[in-house]
């Protein structure tokens, strides 16, 4: 388990060299998504205003994914942006 690829990858989080601009933006953006997903899934709680931050952070993730050339993450975040805008719109319509 010591040389397992996931273990090696997670250890990189503790290296100062890992935290370039793209990886820092990516981390902050994903943490925002967790703040939305976990309460929603576990407790059925949603804060509509977090979707404003999610729309902005999706843009950040599209940028960092472009820098890191991760096309699947780019597509995921375009769809997440659409979801966030839809949630904001539904909040004001209902």
Whether pLDDT at 32 is above 80: yes
Q: What percent of the chain clears pLDDT 90, i.e. is strictly above it?
A: 1
Q: Please state, rounded to an integer, the average pLDDT across all residues of the chain.
A: 83
Rounded to whole angstroms, how far apart are CA atoms 58 and 73? 10
3-state helix, strand, coil in the chain (%, to 5): 85, 0, 15
Looking at residue 1, what is its pLDDT? Answer: 60
Per the listing, tokens 């597509």 go with 75
> Do the Cβ atoms of 73 and 65 come closer than 8 Å?
yes
> Per the structure block, which two tokens stand in for 14?
């503790």
For CA atoms 59, 64, 66, 72, the dihedral sign is: negative
Query: Structure pTM?
Result: 0.66
- The mean pLDDT of 40-50, rounded to a whole number, is 82
């Amino acid at each position: 388990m010591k040389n397992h690829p996931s273990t090696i990858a997670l250890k990189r989080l503790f290296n100062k060299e890992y935290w370039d601009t793209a990886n820092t933006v990516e981390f902050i953006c994903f943490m925002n998504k967790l703040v939305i997903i976990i309460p929603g899934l576990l407790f059925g709680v949603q804060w509509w205003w977090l979707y404003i931050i999610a729309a902005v952070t999706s843009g950040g993730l599209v940028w960092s994914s472009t820098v890191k050339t991760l096309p699947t993450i780019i597509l995921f975040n375009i769809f997440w942006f659409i979801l966030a805008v839809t949630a904001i719109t539904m909040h004001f319509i209902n």
